[in-house]
Amino acid sequence: MKRNKSTLLRLVSYTKPYAPLLVLSLISAAVSVAVSILIPLITGYAIDQMVESGVNFKKLMDYIYILIGMIALGALSQWSLSACTNALTFKTVRNIRNTLFQHINNLPLKYIDGKRQGDLVARISSDIDQVSEGLLQGFTQLFSGVLTIIATLAMLFYINWLIAVAVLVLTPLSLFVASFITKRSHKTFAQQAVKRGEISGYVEEIFSGHKLVQAFNQEESCGEDFARLNKQLYDCGFKSQFYGALINPCTRFVNNLVYASVGIVGALIAIGATSSSFGLKPGILSTCLMYANQYTKPFNEITGVITEIQSAVAASSRIFAVLDEPIEISDENNEVITDCDGTLDLKDVCFRYVDDRPLIENLNLAVRQGQKIAIVGPTGCGKTTLINLLMRFYDVNSGQILVSDKDVRTLTRQSLRDCYGMVLQESWIFEGTVKDNIAYGKADATLEEIQNAALLAGAHDFIDKFPDKYDTLLTENGDNLSQGQKQLLCIARIMLTHPPMLILDEATSSIDTRTEMKIQEAFYTIMQGRTSFIVAHRLSTIRECDVILVMKDGNIIEQGSHAQLLDRRGFYYELYNSQFQNS
């Protein structure tokens, strides 16, 4: 509970810039509740001016004028309540989102790699939505709900304590009914959600394996599995729908009981059948009846709101958990490297992702300007680890990495990363034009520069065939491009920035041969005179390199030139032979 409270307080702190809106919406809520309480009262007074013996028109008109004023005020306050809450909610939500996004972009990759990507996206999207719905809008509802209940009871006591007591006696009933149903329906609803998730997972699996299901004649046996799940869903779906549907009739029932008892007690008081000295006129009785109508509604809302708030608190603590992760250490005072000469030294580098699992141990490597270093090994051997260290996505545990004789940890990250051009196998294309995508590292590039880069990368030809050429819009993940074309675009990006060092990741397969040759050519062009690290799969590339690092299970197990490694007859020798032997 204490933690919930601090989460709430922290969330409220995000509304600070909009304190006037917050205050305004609270005032509006109070005013609108006050009006909703006063209107029935005045209406009652007005009705009581009309007795069969004659209507007091002067007083009636006074009340009507007051009513008109109240109605106008009520409408205005209701409008400002929802408009203010809405503005407050979405402005706050926008700020939390922006803060969270910025924070994630500055978190160490170690944290991000350790999280499922979908999970982080969910925190940015649905968790924050939950907060906006539950917490911010829920609070105003809660506030006006509680206010309405208290004010109604107070007015009833003011009018006649007996009626108030009659209502109070029934209050536990509405509380009980509301909480009973909410609890039940909440539970069954959760069960239904789980079942739905199961079914949708199953169906997704079967539908995407459509071809296999048919190839293996599995239609019927899948049907049987599905029927079982479907039956389970029916059972809890029915329960959840039924319990959920109980809320309205039951509230209406309690409401009707309250109404009836107010009617009976009120009428009895009115004819003086009880000892009460306070006479009750029909108009005021109708006031009480109207109160009875609006009294039970908030109970129901409040129980609903409380569940919403609970899940919103849970969602916001997930958000804050990310925000509480320490970001990368500031590098503001570090040196900016501008004259990288392409030499690189790894001295006794040790690195491990998990403390008790050694990965890279005492790696030493001296790279001269313009050398090519191939990194080879079976899939999953940890080739990306090395890239992570070079780019300083991760820091070494001990030892040093020196670029132009400078320890990378003394340099700013930006200037270090500017020294490298990186093309990964999974080409990253973002939603935007071809032009934007190529100019990613150099936003102020002219069209001529961009075209030139594309030409050098061998991408110009296919771009030129698009109807909108360089202004063609690419979708997220670049669905309208082939794998190979995407990679050519990424190479063009590098052609524009002229980095002194390169990190290239060769594609394993599934690219058509001609595009692949173009990529090879582009790689070859770009590597001229630059220090290059290549995660290589094809022997032709590997043989070209000055140094080959052979990796297996995260370790560098062999290191040397092609000829040296063959002579050694080790793992590389085996790997090399298996590719070129006949079966």
- What residues between 31 and 50 interact with other proteins by CB under 8 A? 39, 43, 46-47, 49-50
Binding residue count for other proteins, defined by CB under 8 A? 160
Cβ contacts of residue 505 below 8 Å, gap of 6+? 387, 423, 424, 425, 534, 535
CB of 231 to other proteins, least distance (A): 7
Surface-to-core class of residue 493, CB atoms within 10 Å of its CB (0-12 exposed, 13-18 middle, 19+ buried)? buried
Asked if 139 interacts with other proteins (CB under 8 A), we say no
Which stretch in 149-157, 225-233, 337-345, 367-375 sits in contact with other proteins by CB under 8 A?
Answer: 225-233
CB of 16 to other proteins, least distance (A): 17
Query: x/- string (CB under 8 A) for other proteins, residues 12-31?
Result: --------------------
Q: How far is 130 from 323, CA to CA, in rounded Å?
A: 17
Asked if 165 interacts with other proteins (CB under 8 A), we say no
CB of 395 to other proteins, least distance (A): 14
Query: Could you tell me if 156 and 163 are in contact, meaning their C-beta atoms sit under 8 angstroms apart?
Result: yes
Would you say 21 or 142 has its CB closer to other proteins?
Answer: 21
Query: Could you tell me if 92 and 15 are in contact, meaning their C-beta atoms sit under 8 angstroms apart?
Result: yes
Asked if 444 interacts with other proteins (CB under 8 A), we say no
Query: Could you tell me if 566 and 558 are in contact, meaning their C-beta atoms sit under 8 angstroms apart?
Result: no
Asked if 299 interacts with other proteins (CB under 8 A), we say no
Instruction: Write out the binding residues for other proteins, residues 477-506 only, by CB under 8 A.
Output: 477, 482, 490, 493, 497
Bin 61: left if φ > 0, else alpha if -120 < ψ < 50, else beta: alpha
Main-chain phi, psi angles of 535, to 5 degrees: -80, 105
Cβ contacts of residue 11 below 8 Å, gap of 6+? 131, 135, 316
CB of 324 to other proteins, least distance (A): 19
Instruction: Write out the binding residues for other proteins, residues 226-245 only, by CB under 8 A.
Output: 226-227, 230-231, 233-234, 237-238, 241-242, 245
Asked if 333 interacts with other proteins (CB under 8 A), we say no
Bin 511: left if φ > 0, else alpha if -120 < ψ < 50, else beta: beta
CB of 390 to other proteins, least distance (A): 10
Question: Which listed residue (19, 55, 154, 168) binds other proteins by CB under 8 A?
Answer: 55
CA atoms within 13 A on the CB side of 303: 19
CB of 304 to other proteins, least distance (A): 16
Instruction: Write out the binding residues for other proteins, residues 117-136 only, by CB under 8 A.
Output: 117, 120-121, 124-125, 129
Question: Which listed residue (67, 173, 314, 557) binds other proteins by CB under 8 A?
Answer: 67
Asked if 112 interacts with other proteins (CB under 8 A), we say yes
Query: x/- string (CB under 8 A) for other proteins, residues 176-215?
Result: --------------------x--xxxxxxxxxxxxxxxxx
Beta strands 398-403 and 344-351 are: antiparallel
Q: Which of 355, 369, 365, 371 is nearest to 389 (CA)?
A: 365
Element (H, E) at 557: strand 555-560
Query: Could you tell me if 182 and 307 are in contact, meaning their C-beta atoms sit under 8 angstroms apart?
Result: yes
Would you say 125 or 398 has its CB closer to other proteins?
Answer: 125
CB of 72 to other proteins, least distance (A): 8
- Both tokens of 75, joined, read 């409408």
What value, to the nearest 5°, has the Cα angle with vertex 533 and ends 528 and 535?
120
Would you say 299 or 393 has its CB closer to other proteins?
Answer: 393
- Both tokens of 91, joined, read 């402005």
Q: Which of 261, 285, 265, 199 is nearest to 236 (CA)?
A: 199
Question: Which listed residue (348, 461, 471, 512) binds other proteins by CB under 8 A?
Answer: 512
**Torsion over CA: 431, 436, 438, 441 (sign):** negative
Question: Which listed residue (6, 102, 410, 564) binds other proteins by CB under 8 A?
Answer: 102
Asked if 370 interacts with other proteins (CB under 8 A), we say no
CB of 161 to other proteins, least distance (A): 20
Would you say 348 or 471 has its CB closer to other proteins?
Answer: 471
Would you say 27 or 347 has its CB closer to other proteins?
Answer: 27
Question: Which listed residue (5, 16, 79, 569) binds other proteins by CB under 8 A?
Answer: 79
Question: Which listed residue (430, 461, 468, 569) binds other proteins by CB under 8 A?
Answer: 430
Asked if 76 interacts with other proteins (CB under 8 A), we say yes
CB of 93 to other proteins, least distance (A): 7
Question: Which listed residue (2, 3, 465, 514) binds other proteins by CB under 8 A?
Answer: 514
Q: How far is 418 from 536, CA to CA, in rounded Å?
A: 23
Which stretch in 165-173, 316-324, 446-454, 475-483 sits in contact with other proteins by CB under 8 A?
Answer: 475-483
Instruction: Write out the binding residues for other proteins, residues 545-574 only, by CB under 8 A.
Output: 574
Query: Could you tell me if 285 and 266 are in contact, meaning their C-beta atoms sit under 8 angstroms apart?
Result: yes
Q: Which of 420, 335, 339 is nearest to 386 (CA)?
A: 420
3-state SS, residue 352: coil
CB of 269 to other proteins, least distance (A): 10
Would you say 13 or 583 has its CB closer to other proteins?
Answer: 583
- The residue written with tokens 């594609």 in the block is 507
Q: How far is 133 from 310, CA to CA, in rounded Å?
A: 11
Question: Which listed residue (4, 82, 369, 371) binds other proteins by CB under 8 A?
Answer: 82
Q: How far is 111 from 105, CA to CA, in rounded Å?
A: 11
Q: Which of 259, 198, 256, 205 is nearest to 230 (CA)?
A: 198
Asked if 330 interacts with other proteins (CB under 8 A), we say no
